[in-house]
Amino acid sequence: MNNKNAVERIEYELTTFIRRAVYIDNSENKIGNLERASYLILRQLEEFGPARVKELAASFKLDISTLSRQTGTLEGKGLIERSSDPSDGRVSLFTITELGREKLKADKKMRLARYQNMLETWSSKEKELFGELLERMNEAFFD
């Protein structure tokens, strides 16, 4: 397979993968109870700790108004909480709450089970390589 065909195949497979993931996310077969955006914000806060809205927006490559709405929804549900940034009291920091951790843990468990089932015939080496390549692809989107 020449390079052009390889890139075409990647483009097609990624497009198909994203379409199927969005379909599942919007169907009765949805994984977990959290919306995709909520899940990602909670994962980010759990992994990296408290963050400003501006930092969250930058990490997801979204505008601040979008992240403000999403954090407002999460805060309203008690999944994150807002506090003043000790380095600049005019700015708010968002932190995942215990309830947020519980909801995230439950959804993450369901998502991991789904992917483990999908990848059960893959070798450990194949899964590791696929993860590395996906990470590179995600990074390349904004280079």
- Do 100 and 39 share a structural domain? yes
- In the chain, how many domains are there? 2
Q: Look up the CATH number of the domain holding residue 100.
A: 1.10.10.10
What would the two tokens of residue 8 be?
């075409």
Give Cα 19 to chain centroid, integer Å.
16
- Do 64 and 22 share a structural domain? no
- Do 65 and 41 share a structural domain? yes
pLDDT at 16: 94
Beta partners for residue 95, in sequence order: 81
33 phi, psi to nearest 5 deg = -110, -15
pLDDT at 3: 63
Is 43's pLDDT higher than 70?
yes
pLDDT tens digits for range 110-130: 999 989 999 999 999 999 999
Is 139's pLDDT higher than 90?
no
Is 4's pLDDT higher than 70?
no
Task: Tell me the pLDDT band of 56, cut-offs 50, 70 and 90.
Answer: very high
- The residue with greater pLDDT, 21 or 2, is 21
Q: What is the pTM of this model?
A: 0.84
Is 59's pLDDT higher than 70?
yes
- Do 47 and 14 share a structural domain? no
Its domain, for residue 84, covers 35-139
What would the two tokens of residue 96 be?
């995942």
- Do 48 and 25 share a structural domain? no
DSSP 26-51: TSTT-SSSS-HHHHHHHHHHHHH--B
- Once rounded to an integer, what is the mean pLDDT over residues 2-19? 86
Task: Tell me the pLDDT band of 94, cut-offs 50, 70 and 90.
Answer: very high
- Do 45 and 19 share a structural domain? no
